[in-house]
Amino acid sequence: MKIAVIQGPNLNMLGAREQHIYGPMTLDQIHEQMTGSASQNGIELEFFQSNLEGEIVDRIQECMGTIDAILINPAAYSHTSIAITDALNAVSLPVVEVHISNIYKREEFRQKSITASASTGVITGFGPFGYHMGLIALTQILNELQSSKAAKEVQAKAE
């Protein structure tokens, strides 16, 4: 299984910015922990971070045919980006959206995620642990899809 982990704007500043909201861990530390957990479960991760909306759209599109699922923290683009939402819908992959902070306890404009409509599920407010929760969710989703596909193949051979 191969999962793309796509990080939006300002997440490269984790560990330095607003620690009272986002905590002290850096993005590299979060990715390092994720890699350890993923490798134990036979999952390959590809990490990408950009502050530019178009680059995030390009990366999502590149996932089509090469990636099994996407774990994304669109950050501020969650609340504004129709382009990222459209790209997530276009690739037709399982998507879990993660937010480090609880967006529902923040400013009103942060309480609506446009990109959530293109996601299988959303995890918010658990700090960096939310990324691990997202990996667990995507592993389960991919295992279910694989089992369903195998059952259909067996059924087709039987007919």
| Distance between CA atoms of residues 129 and 137, nearest Å | 13
DSSP 107: -
DSSP one-letter string for 23-79: -S--HHHHHHHHHHHHHHTT-EEEEEE-S-HHHHHHHHHHTTTT-SEEEEE-GGGGG
Q: In which residue are the tokens 């500043």 written? A: 13
| Distance between CA atoms of residues 47 and 128, nearest Å | 15
Catalytic (active site) residue 77:
no
Catalytic residue among 22, 31, 77, 131: 22
Are 88 and 58 in contact, with CB atoms under 8 Å apart?
no
Catalytic (active site) residue 99:
yes
Catalytic residue among 31, 77, 99, 131: 99
What H or E segment, with its residue span, contains residue 121? strand 121-124
Q: Which of the residues are catalytic?
A: 22, 99
